[in-house]
Structure 1
């Protein structure tokens, strides 16, 4: 009886799924209902560093605020948790060509005219063709030639928002941020991290990538297309264990 109930339930769910598929095929996909953005999974997993609490320093008879860089409101990142934009415009090229050629010829000749009478014994022991005047004759010849060429051209243009995660004792900021875009089961990910100086942040709250010390910039993806482009596990294992 229980088996029959499970079979009936599975058939009912399959029928509902089939009806939904048929409806999507005829009328197209339906819009989702409007929900509270805080209930989205992406929003619930976000955790950001926050600045340490403290009272702002105020000076009597002064229009200036502490930690501000201008008389007007400063929009630039200045504390832990603030956001700024890293401008990534990489256009690098390198070309190198090397050529090496080497050639060497050596020749040595020595005679054994007198050696405590041993040369006479050599005449008796060796064939008649032996000549003590040319007892040793050595020659060698070696040559090598090599060439190599490198031609590389890379271009990346991106913008990514990062977060100030830490203020170092010398006043510099540690920044880190990532960006993910998923389209048709293919996820593209951009990750940036490094150390910057607050003075290098421009008025529009951006900073160039070449002003980021110890910069770590990674751009890649994973998904259906990326899996197809990678060799299978069996092939990887075979290449790893194959001696040749």
Structure 2
């Protein structure tokens, strides 16, 4: 369902609110009792989670709970309920934004996601016990074959992203980081990528046009992250 902007905040009383359940079959209680997917936790409801204090302490973006002890999306109502992610509450992702060249020759590395077919930053979820800096390098290597372990990135920000799987009680946050290369290197699609390649990145409109010309679409959730990269590049000169 669509949530009007004036009713998004949790502090706004909305008795008629009826979010759509989007939990896939494999994460529903009966299925989890038989087998837990290797990418997900086995808790069918948030009440079964025993480490909420630690999850709150580790969160990139602070969050609260409702009167039933369920975690609440930091930005308010989403119109969706349930879980279509690995964990209840915050699910941390790492998104490496790789830029090659400068000026009119500047380009950004994107992958074609094999789940939704959109052009996106080559990132993914942080594994249990893994740090975001390690996940940035790992995801990039797994999805494009490019190893930038020796290159120190600039952390652009840590924020909630508008992932299509977000619900009122499970959502994605991202550590976005900028890697700069002097020139383009060969990228080979792997892992969750159907394709990988470079697109012109003078501005977001230029990128959108190039992606459209290739018969593809840009992943909506990654637009704000790409804008952050452009702002950084434009503000720090030698772009």
TM class by smaller structure: under 0.3
Instruction: Tell me which structure has the larger Cα radius of gyration.
Output: 1
TM-score relative to the length of structure 1? 0.24
TM-score relative to the length of structure 2? 0.24
Structure number with the bigger relative contact order (C-alpha 8 A, sep ≥ 6) is 2
Higher normalized strand content (fraction of residues)? 1
